[in-house]
């Protein structure tokens, strides 16, 4: 009888272990499915391709957009937070709130290429689209495109209000997030800038990534007027 009870207990424990393993596996599969299905859409289409850049730690860092987000307009005065508070001077384009909403573009951090009207140079660019939720009580009243041009030569002035800025964004880095303090936000921006640098470094091969970057740069070279413009270019 004791042997029978022992075998029964062991059998019962084995079933419990198998059931627990099955439930854990099911939860992992559901989590992965949610991650891949939660991307925003443009006109009903999934906004991001499944091609992702990977960090050395193996974490997904950026998604290629199926459209280049091509924006242009005169740089407007902002809240002065970029250079004074964060150490990253940004150029603000506050003209696209309705277009962003109509296109179902998510708030978040994007990267691509940018150009200022008085310069022939084209710069790597990182842009936040959103309301700056970390600044509680002082959020943007509308969704603003705030762009930081990566300028290692320091040839650009700290601000260029009134000048026309173009950006061609082709990658989505992460959703906009409300950080608990400014220090955490600054640390994340530094990580975003480093990530954008790595993504935008190579346009020499024939991959889809290089082709979309070259197309984004070409768009900046073709438009020279100072009008306000919002386009999704496939």
User: Which residues are designated catalytic?
Assistant: 146
Secondary structure of residue 98 in the 3-state scheme: helix
Copy the structure tokens of residue 200.
Answer: 């935008």
| CA atoms of 3 and 148, how far apart (whole Å) | 73
**Which helix (H) or strand (E) covers residue 173, if one does?**
strand 164-175
* Residue carrying the six token digits 């509308």: 142
Q: Are 114 and 167 in contact (CB under 8 A)?
A: yes
The distance from CA 221 to its chain's CA centroid, rounded to whole angstroms, is 23
Q: Are 128 and 89 in contact (CB under 8 A)?
A: no
| CA atoms of 213 and 201, how far apart (whole Å) | 10
| CA atoms of 173 and 106, how far apart (whole Å) | 11
């Amino acid at each position: 009888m004791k042997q029978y009870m022992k075998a029964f207990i062991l059998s019962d424990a084995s079933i419990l272990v198998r059931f627990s393993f099955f439930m854990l596996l099911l939860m992992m599969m559901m989590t992965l499915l949610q991650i891949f299905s939660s991307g925003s859409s443009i006109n009903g289409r999934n906004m991001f391709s499944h091609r992702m850049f990977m960090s050395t730690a193996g974490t997904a860092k950026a998604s290629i957009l199926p459209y280049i987000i091509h924006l242009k307009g005169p740089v407007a005065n902002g809240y002065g937070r970029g250079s004074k508070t964060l150490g990253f001077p940004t150029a603000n384009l506050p003209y696209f709130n309705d277009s962003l909403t109509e296109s179902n573009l998510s708030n978040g951090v994007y990267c691509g290429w940018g150009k200022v009207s008085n310069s022939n140079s084209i710069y790597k660019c990182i842009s936040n689209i959103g309301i700056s939720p970390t600044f509680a009580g002082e959020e943007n009243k509308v969704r603003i495109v705030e762009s930081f041009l990566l300028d290692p030569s320091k040839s650009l002035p700290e601000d260029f209000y009134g000048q026309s800025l173009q950006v061609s964004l082709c990658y989505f880095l992460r959703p906009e997030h409300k950080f608990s303090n400014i220090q955490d936000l600054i640390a994340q921006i530094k990580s975003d800038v480093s990530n954008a640098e790595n993504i935008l470094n190579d346009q020499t091969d024939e991959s889809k990534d290089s082709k979309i970057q070259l197309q984004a740069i070409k768009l900046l070279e073709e438009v020279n007027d100072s009008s306000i413009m919002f386009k999704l270019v496939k």
